Amino acid sequence: MTNATGTIYSPGCNYYDMGFTYDVNRYTPKQMVIIPLILLVLALISIGITMAQTGLPVKPGIDFSGGTAVTVFTTDSSEQISAYFAGYPLVGIEEGINNGKYLTFSNMPDAQFRALSDLIMARYPDAKVDQIGEAFGKTLQSQAVLALIFSFIGMAIVVFITFRTFVPSAAVVLSALADILMTAGAMNVLGIPLTLPTTAALLMLIGYSVDSDILLTMRTLKRQGKLDEKLAGAFHTGIIMTTTAIAAAAAMWVVSWFGQVQVINLIATVLLIGLAFDILNTWLTNAGIIKWYVTKKGGPMLTGGFTPKQETKKKGGK
Amino acid sequence: MNKDEIITLLKDWRVALLIILVVASIIAINPHFENGEFTTNLQYGLDLQKGAWLQLEFKSEVVGFQTDKPTDEFIASLKNQTDAEIFLVGDKLEIRKLYTQAELTPIFEKAGGKITSYQQGVSKTTADDVKRILESKINSLGTRDARINTLTGLDGVTRYIRVELAGVTMSEAQQVVGKQGKFEIRIATTGNQSEHVIFGDSITGVGNPTQEPPGSGKWGVSFTLNEDGAKAFQAAAIQYGAVSDPDNHQLQMLLDGKIIYSAPLSKELAGNLQQEVVRQLVASTGAGTTGQQAAQTLEIHLRNGALPVDVTVAGSGSVSATLGDHFKLMCLLAGILALITVGIVVYYRYREPAIVLPMVCINASEIIILLGISVFTIQLDLATIAGLIAVLGTGIDQLIIITDEILHEGKVPSPNIYQKRLSRALGIIVASAATVVIAMLPLALMDLSSLRGFAIITILGVLIGVTITRPAYGRIIMAILSK
């Protein structure tokens, strides 16, 4: 790869490359969208399988399926803990460093929970206990799904109002959707459950992902200049944006992993996965579609050509 | 930059506003030492401080109905079949016993009507009653930091109520919510003396506060005694002279040994008691708002602190002081580390302290302002902190957009072009801010308990960014770059 990004900037300001050598102008739109497309199909398969098994796109955690979560700091081994809670539906023990343990129990009757609660307090008086009933979990679950759907629709409306042309707006919405679907697929593969915190993280991703997409679209559509230069410029800014977001999420991840703060750790994990996919979807999917759209509309046709059938007649205003 | 330039910069309203807000926020947060311990005015949720929460679900339902019969007659027939308390609320029925829709359908048919809607929960009024009862129970235990929220859906039906108690363990919280006061009725004899009449367990039913007679403006609470209680009441009233001389032998109601209500028998009731056992009584509390409030309090006491509707625990949780402090420390660490790593990444890119330093400072000031606002609006919990760190991430993103836009193709030339570039950057920022606000709005409006704070902080963060910190940064970076 000869053409590193960042070099188009004139001297006079101190720019340094981030070490990425991806050249957003090197590939044809068709080549660009192929990788995300394959990943999207894989994600959909993973989501489909989980959907068939649990009725939800991602396996629900205790917030939605009901159950009890316990955070403790103890030197007891997993075996000792299992033995101590014999007779209770203990389904998982996660161990962090620092002796932090995160236990999950499945649903149990009220009386049994009270007994468990006493048992926990007797041995681990400093524990954090959270219990969600099955019916309450169902209510939370339907609300969370509604929130995700409303958020997404709201975001799409804002994007369409901003750009007022179909293909660029659809490209932004599509790459945000791909972000969320790929992240959901990855959550299934990694065994990260859908809980209130991870729902929050997915919603946060909508915001982060649209950020760089809007930058890309604004820069390429609403500005004079050569497409190649505009794309490279947008990539130059966009990649650093996502990198800082990743840096913030990574800091959260490290501290929460070290300190066994499950809620923040889950949010950070989902954000990290989602932001990684966001780089892909912004600079391959969205950039690919925008490139195809701009070249098809006016400028000389480059090599290849990505022409989805339903959009061949759509011209759209500037 | 020389002294004059700095002064001009500080006089710019965007920069001045930012500085004023940061200072005001620090004052609001008020970091100080108290008894040798560092403390602030920040409010913490139950993740970050010792406490327990209970999510209670009402075992009751609100049902829409249709009938050709007179409503009174219809309700009476339903009551006969179900043995449940049933109230007409608006055009719907509140049935204070849990039945499924399938169970209710034949009952409604038999009474000559049909169900048009079914929703588990209680009406807003009942939910507020329950909230008041719980509050009074918690207050009676001394000053505890308690929050009680009813979660009312868009259809006006409340299914859940959430009780958060700071500083208590789970079993203490369960006791508080389940605790019943000791209610007693006594009759004044001579001087300060009084004699026991009945305990609260003799009261079988308590009505809602009503005007007695209706429309008179005088408030009261009706209550019903069981057969034995009514007999004891009659006997005591006669024995201690409350019937013959009501004014000097008032009836006293006591809760946990404290007199909470005292009034003479009415002439009419005194007369009746000489002839017969009376089970249905009304305690009047006076006219106007004061009378109404007194009636509401009395209702709670008459119920012995029992809730008008049965509840089950739908969810609960507790955090110990140790773990709360640990989480607090971790959140602080995560925030600081995030700020530092973001600073390093930005430095790696621009290699220019004059750009990076304002960026990081603006970013930090945004967090300070948000924390300042949170003192008055929301409690910080783990999800909210994650939201704060996310705001830090999106915030720096937008500063990068501004910087790159202004630096585009070289150094900043004339203020004219600078303004054009800045407004171009703000165009991108406003669009992406709008999407974040819209994306978070459902969460802020719906009540997913723990995620509400997260959504609100994210929205606030974006708004403050767009209106205050971004414009200020634009001004500052111009001064720095055009030197």
Stretch 76-115 of chain A: residues touching chain B, C-beta under 8 Å: 110, 114
Longest dimension (CA), chain A: 75
- pLDDT bin (cut points 50, 70, 90) of residue B5 is confident
Residue where the block lists tokens 């919510």: B177
Q: pLDDT: is A6 or A121 the higher one?
A: A121
Name the residue in chain B with its Cα closest to that of A173: B435
Read off the pLDDT of residues B22-44 as tens digits, 9 standing for 90 and up. Answer: 999 999 998 888 887 888 888 88
Say yes or no for a CB contact (<8 Å) between B312 and A110: yes
Say yes or no for a CB contact (<8 Å) between B435 and A125: no
Read off the pLDDT of residues B329-342 as tens digits, 9 standing for 90 and up. Answer: 999 999 999 999 99
Show residues of chain A in contact with B320, CB under 8 Å.
125-128
Read off the pLDDT of residues B222-261 as tens digits, 9 standing for 90 and up. Answer: 888 888 888 888 888 888 888 888 888 888 888 777 788 8
At what angle are helices A262-280 and B382-407 packed, to 10 degrees? 30
Residue A316: predicted pLDDT:
40
Measured in degrees and rounded to the nearest 5, phi and psi for residue B262 equal -150, 130
Show residues of chain B in contact with A139, CB under 8 Å.
159-160
Read off the pLDDT of residues B395-443 as tens digits, 9 standing for 90 and up. Answer: 898 899 888 888 766 565 677 888 888 888 888 899 989 998 998 888 8
**Among the partner residues B313, B345, B386, nearest to A267 by beta-carbon distance:** B386
**Among the partner residues B322, B337, B350, nearest to A255 by beta-carbon distance:** B337
Q: How far is A168 from chain B (nearest CA, A)?
A: 14
Say yes or no for a CB contact (<8 Å) between B315 and A136: yes
A248 shares contact with chain B (CB less than 8 Å): yes
Q: Show the domains of chain B with their CATH numbers.
A: 3-46+320-481 (1.20.1640.10), 51-179+311-316 (no CATH), 183-302 (3.30.1360.200)
Q: How far is B153 from chain A (nearest CA, A)?
A: 11
Residue B44: predicted pLDDT:
87
Cα gap B26→B364, rounded to integer Å? 12
Given a contact cutoff of 8 angstroms between Cβ atoms, the answer to whether A5 and A231 are in contact is: no
For chain B, the average pLDDT equals: 85
Highest mean pLDDT among A123-132, A275-284, B283-292: A275-284
Q: How many CB atoms lie within 10 A of CB A48?
A: 13
Residue where the block lists tokens 């509140």: B94
Given a contact cutoff of 8 angstroms between Cβ atoms, the answer to whether B403 and A220 are in contact is: no
Q: pLDDT: is B7 or A169 the higher one?
A: A169
Total-model pTM: 0.79
Show residues of chain B in contact with A130, CB under 8 Å.
315-317
Cβ density class B47-72: b for 16+ within 10 Å, e for less:
bbbbbbbbbbbbbbbbbebebeeeee
- Helix, strand, coil: what percent of chain B each, to 5? 55, 25, 25
Given a contact cutoff of 8 angstroms between Cβ atoms, the answer to whether A283 and A215 are in contact is: no
Which ranges constitute the DSSP H helices of B351-381? Answer: 353-377
A157 shares contact with chain B (CB less than 8 Å): yes
Show residues of chain B in contact with A233, CB under 8 Å.
404, 408
At what angle are helices A196-221 and B415-445 packed, to 10 degrees? 150
Say yes or no for a CB contact (<8 Å) between B435 and A207: yes
Whether the pLDDT of residue B205 is over 60: the answer is yes
Say yes or no for a CB contact (<8 Å) between B438 and A158: yes
- pLDDT bin (cut points 50, 70, 90) of residue B193 is confident
Show residues of chain B in contact with A199, CB under 8 Å.
448, 451
Q: How far is A229 from chain B (nearest CA, A)?
A: 11
A272 Cβ partners below 8 Å, 6+ apart?
Answer: A246, A249, A250, A253
Residue A252: predicted pLDDT:
92
Say yes or no for a CB contact (<8 Å) between A245 and B393: yes
Neighbouring C-alpha atoms within 13 Å toward the C-beta of B300:
22
Q: How many CB atoms lie within 10 A of CB A279?
A: 20
Read off the pLDDT of residues B43-86 as tens digits, 9 standing for 90 and up. Answer: 888 888 888 888 888 989 999 998 888 888 888 888 888 878 88
**Among the partner residues B320, B410, B442, nearest to A147 by beta-carbon distance:** B442
Given a contact cutoff of 8 angstroms between Cβ atoms, the answer to whether B462 and A158 are in contact is: no
Whether the pLDDT of residue A21 is over 80: the answer is no
A318 shares contact with chain B (CB less than 8 Å): no
Say yes or no for a CB contact (<8 Å) between B400 and A249: no
The CA-based angle B456-B462-B467, given to 5 degrees, is: 125
Residue type, B71: T
Measured in degrees and rounded to the nearest 5, phi and psi for residue A312 equal -65, -30
Q: How far is B328 from chain A (nearest CA, A)?
A: 10
Say yes or no for a CB contact (<8 Å) between B352 and A129: no
Residue A259: predicted pLDDT:
86
Residue B366: predicted pLDDT:
93
Q: How far is A58 from chain B (nearest CA, A)?
A: 18
Residue type, B151: L
Nearest to A59 by CA among A313, A287, A266: A266
**Among the partner residues A9, A210, A251, nearest to B432 by beta-carbon distance:** A210
Cα gap A250→B341, rounded to integer Å? 9
Q: Show the domains of chain A with their CATH numbers.
A: 29-60+136-311 (1.20.1640.10), 67-132 (3.30.70.260)
For residue B271, what are its two tokens?
A: 């007369």
DSSP state of A301: P
Say yes or no for a CB contact (<8 Å) between A215 and B349: no
Cα gap B323→B343, rounded to integer Å? 30
Say yes or no for a CB contact (<8 Å) between B439 and A240: no
- pLDDT bin (cut points 50, 70, 90) of residue B194 is confident
Nearest to B240 by CA among B184, B193, B278, B182: B193
Cα gap A214→A95, rounded to integer Å? 40
Say yes or no for a CB contact (<8 Å) between A16 and B351: yes
Given a contact cutoff of 8 angstroms between Cβ atoms, the answer to whether B428 and A221 are in contact is: no
What's the average model confidence in pLDDT over B102-115? 89
- Helix, strand, coil: what percent of chain A each, to 5? 65, 10, 30
Nearest to B393 by CA among B340, B342, B330, B429: B342
Edge-first strand listing for the sheet containing B86-89:
B86-89, B92-95, B61-67, B113-120
Residue B483: predicted pLDDT:
63
Task: State the complex-level ipTM.
Answer: 0.81
Whether the pLDDT of residue A302 is over 50: the answer is no
Residue A9: predicted pLDDT:
39
A244 shares contact with chain B (CB less than 8 Å): yes
Say yes or no for a CB contact (<8 Å) between A155 and B435: yes
Residue B27: predicted pLDDT:
92
Say yes or no for a CB contact (<8 Å) between B160 and A196: no
Show residues of chain B in contact with A264, CB under 8 Å.
330-331, 334, 382, 385-386
Cα gap B174→B170, rounded to integer Å? 6
Cα gap B32→B49, rounded to integer Å? 18
Mutate to test the interface with A, among B329, B397, B403, B458 (most CBs of A within 10 A): B397
Instruction: Give chain A's end-to-end CA distance (angstroms, integer).
Output: 33
Show residues of chain B in contact with A261, CB under 8 Å.
327, 330-331, 334, 382
**Among the partner residues B57, B330, B451, nearest to A259 by beta-carbon distance:** B330
Name the residue in chain B with its Cα closest to that of A114: B171
Residue A172: predicted pLDDT:
94
Measured in degrees and rounded to the nearest 5, phi and psi for residue A24 equal -65, -15
Say yes or no for a CB contact (<8 Å) between B386 and A263: yes
Whether the pLDDT of residue A3 is over 50: the answer is no
Stretch 160-199 of chain A: residues touching chain B, C-beta under 8 Å: 162, 196-197, 199
Cα gap B461→A253, rounded to integer Å? 21
Q: How far is A119 from chain B (nearest CA, A)?
A: 12
Stretch 211-230 of chain A: residues touching chain B, C-beta under 8 Å: 211-212, 214-215, 218, 222-223
Residue B88: predicted pLDDT:
87
What's the average model confidence in pLDDT over A134-155? 87
Q: Cβ-count burial of B415 within 10 angstroms (0-12 exposed, 13-18 middle, 19+ buried)?
A: exposed
Stretch 58-77 of chain A: residues touching chain B, C-beta under 8 Å: 71, 73
Percent with pLDDT over 90 in chain B: 17
- pLDDT bin (cut points 50, 70, 90) of residue A315 is very low
At what angle are helices A262-280 and B321-350 packed, to 10 degrees? 30
B63 Cβ partners below 8 Å, 6+ apart?
Answer: B92, B93, B95, B104, B108, B115, B117, B118, B119
Say yes or no for a CB contact (<8 Å) between A15 and B397: no
Edge-first strand listing for the sheet containing B258-263:
B194-199, B183-188, B251-255, B258-263
